[in-house]
Amino acid sequence: MKESFLKLLISGNFSEADELVKDMNISELGTFLIDIICKEKDYFPEYTYLNYKMKNASESELYELHIFACSMLITFFDNASGVYSSALYHAKSALKLKPNSRKALEMLLILAKDKTLLLSKDEIKEYTERLAKIK
């Protein structure tokens, strides 16, 4: 199934790929995609597929997809140009969906270490303070 799924992703047939994984929840889908990424590190369609999934996701699924996309970018595609900017977008989007999200705040602070991103000192301070208030 993984090989068929990857072929569909590479050819841009996301709706057909979606049919193959329609019974997976977001967590299972994440594990499935990570397994593919670990074997096929030169490909990037998994990330594009996540963006496709976001179009029709419920709010809770959308939050999880943004978190997963941010994690995927930071972990597996960190050498690609512009990846941290995309990861920043996903972390901020997740935070908008769940303003008290520990995961999103932690990801934002991880990304704040990259000096090429345009995060102000005030933003970093805000994220740090918000994270400190979450138990």
Domain at 59-135, CATH class: mainly alpha
Closest CA to 94 of 58, 126, 67, 132: 67
What is the rounded distance in angstroms from the CA atom of residue 47 to the CA atom of residue 50?
5
**Residue-range domain boundaries for the chain:** 1-56, 59-135
- For position 43, what pLDDT does the model report? 58
Q: Looking at residues 5-32, what average pLDDT do you find? A: 89
Q: Where are the alpha helices (DSSP H) in the chain?
A: 2-10, 14-20, 26-39, 45-54, 59-76, 83-97, 102-111, 121-133
Read off the pLDDT of residues 38-69 as tens digits, 9 standing for 90 and up: 666 555 788 888 999 999 899 889 999 999 99
State the amino acid at position 108 in one-letter form: L
Closest CA to 44 of 84, 91, 9, 86: 9
Q: Please, what's the largest Cα pairwise distance for the chain?
A: 47
Got the DSSP string for 12-27?
T-HHHHHHHTTT--HH
Read off the pLDDT of residues 82-117 as tens digits, 9 standing for 90 and up: 788 889 999 999 999 999 999 999 999 998 887 667
Q: Please give the model's pTM, rounded to 2 decimal places.
A: 0.81
How are the residues of the chain apportioned to helix, strand and coil, as percentages rounded to the nearest 5?
70, 0, 30
Is 113 strand, coil or helix? Answer: coil
